């Protein structure tokens, strides 16, 4: 049975006492991981390889992708451009110790795919989300950057402390 746990209180900074959550999915509010997906995407890395044939650019080594207040770091990032407009980024595929961070929240995973047009980020592989002093772990995290909402799947686990306790 899939148990869904709503953690919107965390995004509002209100800690709620609950036992560790064991289930297949958890809906999560992402007040801090919300971004204006129309802003330019800046990428820095140690190396860049461009493939004109398939419309990709592969960045390797200490890769950092910045869009507004959102930062994504990884070992390798492949930027896929639109076939009809090679100046328009369609997807960003990151692998190797991926970190997605804003001022208030951070998520870590093995891999991530960011579809720029719809503002969707899907992180997979040993995902760990840290927000408002709490953590949520699972195998897949899907985030809608436009709305600031998300879904954690794959044997979700979290520990939430009551407000004021340590």
Which CATH number covers residue 97?
Answer: 2.60.450.10
Tens-level pLDDT at each residue, the chain (166 residues): 222 222 222 222 222 222 333 344 666 665 555 567 778 889 999 999 999 999 999 999 999 999 888 899 999 999 999 989 988 889 999 999 999 998 888 999 999 999 988 989 999 999 999 987 788 999 999 999 888 888 999 999 998 667 655 5
Measured distance between the N- and C-terminal CA atoms of the chain, rounded to whole angstroms:
31
Query: What six digits make up the tokens of 61?
Result: 């080594």
- The pLDDT score that the predictor gives to residue 20 is 34
Within a domain: 28: no
* Cβ atoms < 10 Å from Cβ of 120: 17
Within a domain: 122: yes
| Domains contained in the chain, number | 1
Total residue length of the chain: 166
CA 5 to mean position of chain CA atoms = 19
Within a domain: 53: yes
Q: Which domain holds residue 51?
A: 36-145
Within a domain: 48: yes
Query: What six digits make up the tokens of 1?
Result: 């049975």
CA–CA distance, 46 with 156 (Å, rounded to integer): 35
């Amino acid at each position: 049975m899939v148990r869904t746990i709503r953690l919107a209180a965390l995004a509002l900074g209100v800690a709620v006492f609950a036992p560790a959550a064991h289930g297949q999915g958890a809906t999560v509010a992402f007040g801090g991981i919300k971004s204006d997906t129309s802003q330019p995407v800046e990428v820095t890395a140690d190396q860049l390889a461009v493939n004109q044939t398939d419309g990709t650019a592969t960045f390797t080594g200490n890769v950092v992708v910045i869009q507004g207040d959102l930062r994504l770091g990884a070992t390798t990032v492949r930027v896929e451009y639109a076939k009809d407009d090679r100046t328009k980024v369609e997807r960003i595929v990151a692998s190797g110790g991926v970190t997605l961070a804003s001022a208030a929240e951070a998520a870590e995973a093995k891999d991530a795919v960011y579809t720029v047009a719809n503002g969707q980020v899907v992180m997979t592989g040993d995902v760990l989300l840290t927000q408002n002093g709490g953590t949520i772990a699972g195998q897949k995290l899907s985030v809608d950057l436009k709305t600031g909402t998300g879904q954690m799947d794959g044997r979700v686990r979290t520990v939430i402390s009551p407000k004021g306790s340590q």
